[in-house]
Amino acid sequence: VILGVLLLGIFLISRILVYRITKPILELSQWSKDLNLNETGSLQKLRYTEVQRLANQLTSSVRHQQAAIEREEFFLRTASHELRTPVTTISASGAMLSRLSPSLSNGGQRAIARINRSVTTMHNLINTLLWMSREKRTPLDLDSFDMEALLLDTISNHQYLIEGKELTVHIDSPEKLQSKPLPYTLVQIVITNLIRNAFQHSSQGNIHIIVSSDKISVSNSTEHQSSTSPEPSFGIGLLLIERICANNGWQFTHSEEASRYNVSVHFIGPCSSDI
27-56 pLDDT per residue, tens? 777 767 766 655 555 556 666 677 677 777
Q: What percent of the chain has pLDDT over 70?
A: 81
Residues 177 and 213 in one domain: yes
Predicted pLDDT at 209: 96
- Describe the crossing of helices 184-200 and 147-157 by its angle, rounded to 10 degrees: 40
Residue bearing the bigger pLDDT, 131 or 231: 131
Amino acid at 161: L
Residue 205, phi-psi category: left (phi > 0), alpha (psi -120 to 50), beta (remainder): left
- Judged by DSSP in three states, 47 sits in coil
Segments forming the whole domain that contains residue 105: 67-132
Phi, psi dihedrals of residue 216, rounded to the nearest 5°: -140, 135
In tens, the pLDDT along 171-183 reads 998 766 677 888 8
Residues 157 and 258 in one domain: yes
Residue 235 has pLDDT above 90, yes or no: no
Pair 245, 252: CB distance under 8 Å: yes
Residues 152 and 126 in one domain: no
Decide if 43 is inside a domain.
Answer: no
Structural domain count of the chain: 3
Residues 6 and 99 in one domain: no
Decide if 92 is inside a domain.
Answer: yes
Whole-number Å distance between alpha carbons of 188 and 235: 17
In tens, the pLDDT along 75-111 reads 777 777 777 788 888 888 888 888 877 777 888 888 8
Residues 117 and 177 in one domain: no
Scanning 158-269, the segments in alpha helix (DSSP H) are 184-200, 237-248
Residues 151 and 128 in one domain: no
Pair 204, 226: CB distance under 8 Å: no
Annotate 101-169 with DSSP letters as a single string: GGGS-HHHHHHHHHHHHHHHHHHHHHHHHHHHH-SSPPP---B--BHHHHHHHHHHHTGGGGTTSEEEE
Decide if 155 is inside a domain.
Answer: yes
